[in-house]
Structure 1
Amino acid sequence: MNLVTQGSSGRHVSVLPTVLVIGALAIVQRVLSAVANYQQQAFSYQVHHAAEERFLGRAVTIDIPYLDDPGFHERMIRASKTSMTRPFAVTGEVVTFCAQLVAVVGLVGVMSAVHPALLVVIAGSVAVTAVAQARVSKNVYATDLQNSRSFREMYYRRHLMTNEAAIKELQGLGAAHHMRRQHTDLQRWYEASLAAVYRKGQGEALVAGAISALLLTVAYWFVARQGLAGTLTAGDLFLVLGAFTSVGAIVSGLSGSLVALQGHAPYLRDYFDFLDLRQRLPVRPDPIPLPATVARTDEATQPSPAQPGLTLKNVTFTYPTATRPALRGIDLEIAPGEMVALVGDNGAGKTTLVKLLLRHYDPQDGQVLVGGVDLRDADPTELQSRFGVLFQDFVHYNLTVRENLQLGRVERKASDSDLWTALHAARADFVQDLTMGLDATVGKGYEWCQDISGGQWQRLSLARLMYRNADVWILDEPTSALDPEAEVEVFTQLRENLSGRIGIIISHRFSTVRIADRILVMQDGQITEAGTHEELLDLGGRYAHLFDLQAAGYR
């Protein structure tokens, strides 16, 4: 084969250097392909795990007010989906793109040696297809965004159909299959929306394909004319046509990778927007230290005598999406060693008051102070360490008993004796009867778990609160799953273990709240009555009315 051609001007064009470059690049490509096939998988998993770690790192530090925003949950689900799938796919596309880019460089040299216009024709044919693919990717994302609510509803129904408590209730109601049909309908609606996008994309792809084929035909015609005119020998023609075909295929691959990356871009934007969510609660750069607190050592089981008290001064708070205040002009002081109970109708403001104490929100007016320090001036991490909270909807952790308790304060190095002390204080002695005791895994999450009752779960969560050894205990319906006798035992123990701490109880059971030093009655965002159980009965107000209603059920 003649590797030196003579153009119409008599100029000799050698393609030997190009052939050598092509050969060298082919070797490089083969080697890279062999290595990349394995390294790409390992690297993709590393990128995926790094993205997942960043997502989870932001999720666990999110400001609590975000959780009350319905729109936030859709953003979180979109970011979660992206972190689980897109980084892996993007990494693969980038690696593929780089490998194809290396291969195409030498082949482009062959094309330009024949005529630079061929590169323009090839680029044009690829661009037409790329534009059509990019439009489809853009429309797919727009459809995903438009149907994010439907997807969230579908995801929620799926969660219900795989949740133990929900399955029992749905089957008991005879609504399990109804829930499945709703999930199926939402899924089909979502699939139909995407199908419509792809049908439209197919029409555009047909037009783009026709234009691309026409441009390629023009390029082949041009090369054939060069051969007929004698500018290229038969061997040269074969070489150029082969390079032409390879370039077209590889450049199409490059285009496909670029389009795929473009398709991933808006989803990745959701992910990075989630990571960049602004802090809703400002943090002071030079926080004021809180007063001295419990000495938290492995041996510490009791707080020091002097503990910081809680103060609310003329506190008014309105939720961002509400039109009327949830709290209005609250003035309250709780001294160290005092147990206070909050009672009132649903929506009276009890939980909102607790949220302000935990600094889930800042009041629009007034101050919330711990030991005289405004919560807005304190270090959030230090503030969080001072509180121990037991919510009514506490989580059942399918972990060992030891791990369940240690979640109360993970930085504390405690002995088995400390753990058993917390369990005894919560009347959770049932742990002694579990196989492996502290190292028994409780729940139903694994086949090796040991199931425990609802009351035992509640005792275990109380033990976790005891183990936390915080300055302030906040308990929301802490004994709702216990029988009356067990309730009396637990609260007697709680009262004995208070020892200088502040205890705040939210409860609708008056057998629970009467043990408190002070009972606060809340109504319409205000504290309307305050006193001991006997004082409030003598007052004959709202508390006495509610107590009589509840007591009537036992007569």
Structure 2
Amino acid sequence: MKPAPPKSTLVQVRLLVGNVRRAVGLALRVERGLTIRYVLVSVLNALLPVFIAWVGKQIVDAVVAAMADPTHALGPTLTWVGVELALILATHSSGQYLGYVAQLLRARLALHIDVLIFEKALRLGVRHFEDPEFMDVLERARKESSWRPLEMITNGLRLGRNVVTLVGFAALLSQFSLWAVLALTLAGLPFLAEVRYAAEQYTIKARRTQDERQAYYLQQLLTSDYYVKEVKLFALGPMLLGRHRDLHERFYAEDRSFAARRGLAVTALGMVSVGVFYAIYVVIVGQTAIGAITLGSMTLYLGVFRQGQDAFRSAMSSIAGAYEDNLYIQNLFDYLGIEDDDVAERGPESAPRDSEGPRIRFEGVSFDYPGSDRPALDGIDLEIAPGSTVALVGPNGAGKTTLVKLLAGLYPLEEGRILIGDDDIATLDKGEVRSRIGVLFQDFVHYHFTAADNVGIGWLPSLGDREAVEEAAQQAGADGVIEGLPEGYDSMLGRWFGGEQLSIGQWQRMALARAFMRRSRVLILDEPTASIDAEGEHEIFERFAELKHGATAILITHRFSSVRMADRIVVLDGGRIVEDGTHDELIARDGLYARMW
């Protein structure tokens, strides 16, 4: 949970100024020309109301003069009317243009910020995405940051426009009374409530981020094809819907209470502002009635005071809006400011360089998951000979998958070192490490792409190489699955985009084909046959043994019929290696492996 915003006004002002500068910098980088035009037209749009008010006075005075003296020419009056028409048209046109430019800037900024968020995600390690607090930060960054930067710029420009307008109005109104100018500032009283409640609204939304993620998850459970069978089988719908409704009822109760308190405060202060206006109204009308000011001056002062109040309220509202925008946009900058894990990561550019499977060494490797009270790995020392096949076995939570995720560079190594050949992976670019390894995890992804892309993305440089894709599919036994699809390798998979839905076992063959696509000299198979029948399992392991071609392989499996093909079996328990040997040796020891067998 993110703490409430800092209460120090100075801190908030500094953050606001800094974030406005960063938001403007974003806009200039994305669309420099549009941003500059937006600023210039905003300034013009701010000056026009002052000129219109002054021209209105000239029209009234010209009409009064013409009525008092029939010989007075009507030309000056019509001239001033023409000038006012031109100014009104300019105001309308500039306002429309500002809306047009804002729409373009909003779209461009939204895309740019989405790209920034995605690029940042690519530079962060897996450990972040397994941390609920980070997921809250990411959710807050994604939720409103795509439009907040332009809104902050817009509020800043609106404030600038209103300040320019107010200075002009104040100059005109000061000809009547400086007290009227001071009274004008009371129009900003509702601003105090706006700022107070903007901070409270932000705190409410920040506090409920995790609950909103839960509501979205419940929505997915209720509507996704991935969950629909089990939801219906166990009749979970009413329970899930009830939880979803309870969350939103709580949100509604919070929002209703907040809206009522905010509305009452703004209304009360707004009534004071209206009372001040009518007090000044009475004074101006009285001065006109006794002849102290002309009818044109009365029209000018009343118009200026009314519009000035609107401009002052708008200026204060812009400050409140910018303050609110600042709270939300800080979420984006907090996220972007997280230290990168995978700095300067590169994708694969060429085929893996090793012709032989490398030696792999784990030296004193330990690892703790954040918030866990026991180590996931504790002092692991393990050497895997070049080209050999090692099976990692052990109970759930023993550390098997953690070990291979460290080897693949998915987690930062906290203690010890891992070497592939003679290279310490800590000294290598993460992309270089991963390009040497082909991995099939148990929780593999179902990509809703074409069948060819599902296989080809295993090695991006060969994505368009149909021959390589077909070879990898054949090696994994996925070719039969693909050839049975309506459009073969060009068939879309998954239901999201009208494609073909595969069985779990068929999806697993596609994932295995991705691993073979890499032609890496280190192969990691994490439960590679968990969703495949016994006959399919036998076929895949036969193919694996045939096609391994000297690669160094690590198997993680709970099927002991599969581990017998390994040259060596390493048994883990509680994050430590407790047994090591061949199948026959471990059975003879009558230890954990024998009991599990």
- Which interval holds the TM-score relative to the shorter structure? 0.7 to 0.9
- Report Cα offsets for 1:14-57 as digits up to 9, x if no partner: xxxx9999877544322211222323222211121212221122
1:425 to partner: Cα distance = 0.3
Structure 1 partner of 2:396: 346
SS at match of 1:389: strand
SS at match of 2:460: coil
SS at match of 1:480: coil
SS at match of 2:193: helix
Correspondences of 1:136-285 after superposition (within 5 Å): 136-279=197-340, 281=341
- Are 2:152 and 2:326, in contact at CA under 8 Å, matched by a contact in 1? no
Are 2:113 and 1:51 equivalent residues in the alignment? Answer: yes
Q: What is the alpha-carbon distance in structure 2 between the residues aligned to residue 361 and residue 437 of structure 1?
A: 37
Structure 1 partner of 2:185: 123
1:486 to partner: Cα distance = 0.8
1:459 to partner: Cα distance = 0.5
% identity of equivalent residues: 32
SS at match of 1:332: strand
Which of 431, 434, 453 pairs up with 2:485? 434
- Are 1:338 and 1:500, in contact at CA under 8 Å, matched by a contact in 2? yes
- Are 1:107 and 1:243, in contact at CA under 8 Å, matched by a contact in 2? yes
Q: What is the alpha-carbon distance in structure 2 between the residues aligned to residue 322 and residue 310 of structure 1?
A: 28
SS at match of 1:504: strand
Q: 1:360 to 1:416 in 2, by over 3 A?
A: closer
SS at match of 1:71: helix
1:435 to partner: Cα distance = 1.9
- Are 1:521 and 1:529, in contact at CA under 8 Å, matched by a contact in 2? yes
Correspondences of 1:272-311 after superposition (within 5 Å): 272-279=333-340, 281=341, 296-297=350-351, 304-311=354-361
Structure 2 residue identity aligned to 1:489: E
1:496 to partner: Cα distance = 2.0
Structure 2 residue identity aligned to 1:82: E
Q: What is the alpha-carbon distance in structure 2 between the residues aligned to residue 419 and residue 539 of structure 1?
A: 45
Structure 2 partner of 1:422: 472
SS at match of 1:394: coil
Q: 1:383 to 1:113 in 2, by over 3 A?
A: farther
Q: 1:546 to 1:124 in 2, by over 3 A?
A: same
Choose 224-233 or 494-503, whichever is displaced more. Answer: 224-233
Which of 120, 124, 129 pairs up with 1:67? 129
Which of 470, 473, 478 pairs up with 2:528? 478
- Are 1:443 and 1:451, in contact at CA under 8 Å, matched by a contact in 2? yes
- Are 2:356 and 2:521, in contact at CA under 8 Å, matched by a contact in 1? no
Q: 1:360 to 1:155 in 2, by over 3 A?
A: same
- Are 1:309 and 1:370, in contact at CA under 8 Å, matched by a contact in 2? yes
Structure 2 residue identity aligned to 1:32: S
1:517 to partner: Cα distance = 1.4
Which of 41, 47, 60 pairs up with 2:103? 41
Are 2:138 and 1:76 equivalent residues in the alignment? Answer: yes
User: Scaled by the length of structure 2, what TM-score is found?
Assistant: 0.81
Which of 505, 508, 513 pairs up with 1:458? 508
Structure 2 partner of 1:325: 375
- Report Cα offsets for 1:278-335 as digits up to 9, x if no partner: 23x486x9x9x9xxxx9945xx9xx753343211112222223222222122111112
Structure 2 partner of 1:8: none
1:402 to partner: Cα distance = 1.6
- Report Cα offsets for 1:451-490 as digits up to 9, x if no partner: 2221111111111111122232222111111111111111
Q: What is the alpha-carbon distance in structure 1 between the residues aligned to residue 299 and residue 501 of structure 2?
A: 75
Q: What is the alpha-carbon distance in structure 1 between the residues aligned to residue 510 and residue 451 of structure 2?
A: 8
Structure 1 partner of 2:55: none
1:109 to partner: Cα distance = 3.9
1:386 to partner: Cα distance = 1.7
SS at match of 1:408: coil
SS at match of 1:529: strand
- Report Cα offsets for 1:124-146 as digits up to 9, x if no partner: 222x1111112121111111122
SS at match of 2:520: coil
1:426 to partner: Cα distance = 0.3
1:180 to partner: Cα distance = 0.5
Q: 1:53 to 1:509 in 2, by over 3 A?
A: same
SS at match of 2:323: helix
Q: 1:388 to 1:226 in 2, by over 3 A?
A: farther
Structure 2 partner of 1:541: 591
Q: 1:74 to 1:21 in 2, by over 3 A?
A: farther
Q: What is the alpha-carbon distance in structure 1 between the residues aligned to residue 264 and residue 500 of structure 2?
A: 59
1:83 to partner: Cα distance = 3.3
- Are 1:167 and 1:176, in contact at CA under 8 Å, matched by a contact in 2? no
Q: What is the alpha-carbon distance in structure 2 between the residues aligned to residue 48 and residue 343 of structure 1?
A: 47
Structure 2 partner of 1:491: 541
- Report Cα offsets for 1:189-233 as digits up to 9, x if no partner: 011112111121122123211221233233324433442453311
Structure 2 gap segments, 5+ residues each: 1-59, 65-79
Are 2:425 and 1:375 equivalent residues in the alignment? Answer: yes
Structure 1 residue identity aligned to 2:115: E
Structure 2 residue identity aligned to 1:276: G
CA-based RMSD of the aligned residues comes to 2.9
Structure 1 partner of 2:579: 529
Q: What is the alpha-carbon distance in structure 2 between the residues aligned to residue 459 and residue 80 of structure 1?
A: 34
Which of 559, 566, 580 pairs up with 1:509? 559
Structure 1 residue identity aligned to 2:387: G
Structure 1 gap segments, 5+ residues each: 6-17, 548-555
SS at match of 1:311: strand
Structure 2 residue identity aligned to 1:523: D
Q: What is the alpha-carbon distance in structure 2 between the residues aligned to residue 23 and residue 107 of structure 1?
A: 20
